[in-house]
Structure formats: structure tokens, C-alpha cells
């Protein structure tokens, strides 16, 4: 059953995982350990030697959460009917405001697709081949709009939103996997049921995208779950196994299965955010996705009040309470 607490848990989980993982974004695990003296355990400013995160301060979330909220802003404006031009308008508004075109903030697929649209060109040559994780990093809140029985409507909305910048099979499947996990978590499914529902959504989404040669997110997630069971009582070895075998880079086929496996392993916002921040690779994006799922499962009431307050204080451009109120009123169109 959808509730405001669960919706807020999704939003705060997304923002917390994003902001906690920001300082270590796109660094190998060895660099993270050397830079931070072992392990990140709290929100931190970015360091001057991280070219990607250099402009961010403690508790600020990045493009992952900002784009997720831009998509929600578009859906509010169009009465929940995904409109390609309107979504692009809202994402570009954010990108222009933060200087995303020149400050190395936009992901490669999103940047290329948005530039094509801005120049009046057909973005499909870019979007049909898009293999990077912009498709999944911003989709978590969409999962909080639906009930599990509405899986067809969920996957269709994911497709309509995602194809603006990512229309490949792996992109649609990966985004559907993340959104599906959130839907099942909001419904308070068991963790095994969450994974099964995410796989079902993934497979429906896969059929809608343009064919690619990318590794399959379905099989990569199964591997991640096997590792979660194998290293159930050994977090360092689990983390290393995800890093080595599933992968933690910017590719959809790595980061999205990794995020699901980590959410399954961690099962709560605090553990997920810290695990992701120290993982190596695309730490903020994996953190956003994994921790959103944990937040959807536990609800905002399960999250440290100081963490939520920091997110609110450091990101005054958004008010999660208002977003949750609007999201709670959503009804799927049959």
C-alpha cells in the first residue's frame, strides 16, 4: 500500500545515497581508501582532486537526484502524461542553471541526446545505443507512483520517460528494474519478492528497447544476489566481489545490478549509503539507486532525522514534503 512515508523514504533514500557517494564518485576503491583514510562514514565536501564532484559541498546531491526531480516537475505540469518535449525542457532548465554543459555534470548519453535535441536533430542515433546509467539514476521516484498490480502501466511510463535520452534495450530494462524494485518495496514486499518483481519489470522493459550487445541486467542481478548470499556475513568481501565481478562503472549492465544487489544486502538506508560511498566506481549513482530502494522499503520514518535535515538544508531548491503530497495523489491510467 502506497503511503506518504514510503514515498518520502524513496526520495530521501535517493538523495542520501547520491550525496553520500558524491565525494568518491568515479574513483577506484584504492583511491577512496587513500583519500579518506580508510572509509567514508558521513557526508563530506568533495575534494579538489575529484574532477567530477569538485563543485559539490557536504550533503548536496548531484545530477542523479536533480534530474529525478526535474522529471517529476514535468509530470506535475503535464498531469502525469509523459511528454518528451516537456521533460527535455525541465532537464535542460536544470542543466543550464547549474552549468552542466561545461562543468562535467551531465552523463555522456544524456549530454549527447540533449545536445541533439537542442540542435533540432533526431536523438535516436544516440539514444538507441545509450548504454550508460542515466536511465536508472533518475527513475526511482516513478516506482513510488505505482502498485505492483500496475506493472504494465509502470513499465510503459518508465519507457516513455527514459527514451528521451536512453532507448536501448539495456536502458529500458535497467530503468524498469530499478523502478520495479521501488514499487515492490513501497508495497512492503519481502526482499526476495522485491528482486523477483524487479526482474519481471526488467524483462518487460527489455522487450521495448532497441537491440544492443550489452550484458543482460537480469543475469547480472542474479549473480549479485548469489554474491549477497555467499558473503552474507562478510561485508568487505561482498563489496569487493560486486566491484570485481558485477562491476561498479557507469554502464547500465554494471551499476544497476550492483545497486539492486547492494540494496538486497544492506536492507536499510544507513548501511546502503555507506557501503555504496566506499564501493568504488560510480558511487553516487549506485548509492542513489540502492538507497532509494532501501528508503522505499523502510519509509522516511526509518531514516536518521539528522540525515534528512541535512538534505533539506543543503538542497533548499526542493521540498520533498511537497513532492510526496503530489505523488500520493497519482492514479495510474489503465
Cα–Cα distance for residue pair 283/286, rounded to 1 Å: 5
3-state SS, residue 273: helix
The answer to whether 256 and 136 are in contact (CB under 8 A) is: yes
The answer to the question of whether 132 is labelled as a binding residue is no
The CA distance from 45 to 60, in Å, is 9
Q: Angle at Cα 327 formed by Cα 266 and Cα 70, nearest 5°?
A: 85
Angle made by CA atoms 258, 164, 102, in degrees to the nearest 5: 80
In our burial notation (b when 16+ CB lie closer than 10 A, e otherwise), range 123-160 reads beebbbbbbbbbbbbbbbbbbbbbebebbeebbbbbbe
What contacts 22, CB < 8 A, 6 or more positions away? 46, 53, 56, 60, 61, 62, 283, 284
248 assigned ligand-binding residue: no
Ligand-binding site membership of 282 (annotated)? yes
Binding residue per annotation — 102?
no
Q: Whole-angstrom Cα distance, residue 215 to residue 213?
A: 7
Contact indicator for 204, 178 with CB cutoff of 8 Å: no
The most distant pair of C-alpha atoms in the chain lies apart, rounded to whole Å, by 53
- Grid cell, residue 2, equals 502506497
Q: 284: annotated binding-site residue?
A: yes
Beta bridge partners of 168: 210
The three-state secondary structure class of 275 is: helix
Burial state string for 50-84 with b = 16 or more CB within 10 A and e = fewer than 16: bebbeebeebbbbbbbbbbbbbbbbbeeeebebbe
> Is 291 flagged in the annotation as binding?
no
Task: List the end-to-end C-alpha distance of the chain, in Å, as a whole number.
Answer: 18
Half-sphere exposure of 268 (CA within 13 A, CB side): 6
Q: Which residues does the annotation place in the binding site for Mg(2+)?
A: 62-64, 282, 284-285
Q: Which residues does the annotation place in the binding site?
A: 62-64, 282, 284-285
Amino acid at each position: 500500500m502506497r503511503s506518504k512515508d514510503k514515498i518520502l523514504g524513496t526520495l530521501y533514500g535517493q538523495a542520501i545515497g547520491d550525496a553520500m557517494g558524491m565525494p568518491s564518485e568515479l574513483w577506484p576503491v584504492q583511491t577512496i581508501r587513500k583519500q579518506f583514510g580508510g572509509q567514508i562514514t558521513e557526508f563530506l565536501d568533495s575534494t579538489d582532486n575529484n574532477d567530477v564532484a569538485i563543485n559539490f559541498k557536504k550533503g548536496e546531491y548531484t545530477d542523479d537526484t536533480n534530474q529525478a526531480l526535474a522529471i517529476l516537475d514535468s509530470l506535475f505540469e503535464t498531469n502525469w502524461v509523459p511528454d518528451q518535449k516537456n521533460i527535455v525542457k525541465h532537464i535542460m532548465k536544470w542543466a543550464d542553471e547549474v552549468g552542466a554543459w561545461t562543468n562535467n555534470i551531465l552523463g555522456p548519453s544524456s549530454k549527447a541526446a540533449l545536445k541533439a535535441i537542442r540542435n533540432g536533430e533526431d536523438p535516436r542515433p544516440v539514444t538507441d545505443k545509450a548504454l550508460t546509467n542515466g536511465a536508472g539514476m533518475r527513475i526511482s521516484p516513478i516506482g513510488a507512483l505505482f502498485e505492483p498490480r500496475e506493472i504494465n502501466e509502470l513499465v510503459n511510463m518508465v519507457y516513455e520517460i527514459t527514451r528521451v535520452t536512453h532507448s536501448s534495450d539495456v536502458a529500458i530494462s535497467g530503468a524498469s528494474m530499478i523502478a520495479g524494485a521501488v514499487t515492490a518495496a513501497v508495497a512492503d514486499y519481502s526482499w526476495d519478492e522485491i528482486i523477483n518483481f524487479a526482474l519481471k519489470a526488467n524483462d518487460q522493459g527489455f522487450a521495448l528497447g532497441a537491440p544492443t550487445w550489452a550484458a543482460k541486467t537480469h543475469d547480472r542481478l542474479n549473480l549479485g544476489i548469489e554474491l549477497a548470499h555467499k558473503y552474507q556475513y562478510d561485508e568487505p568481501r561482498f563489496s569487493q566481489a560486486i566491484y570485481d565481478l558485477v562491476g561498479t562503472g557507469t554502464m547500465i549492465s554494471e551499476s544497476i545490478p550492483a545497486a539492486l544487489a547492494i540494496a538486497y544486502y544492506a536492507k536499510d538506508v544507513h548501511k546502503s549509503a555507506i557501503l555504496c560511498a566506499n564501493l568504488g566506481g560510480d558511487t553516487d549513482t549506485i548509492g542513489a539507486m540502492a538507497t532509494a530502494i532501501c528508503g522505499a522499503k523502510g519509509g522516511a520514518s526509518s531514516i536518521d532525522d539528522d540525515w534528512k535535515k541535512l538534505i533539506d538544508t543543503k538542497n533548499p531548491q526542493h521540498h520533498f514534503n511537497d513532492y510526496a503530497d503530489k505523488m500520493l495523489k497519482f492514479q495510474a491510467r489503465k
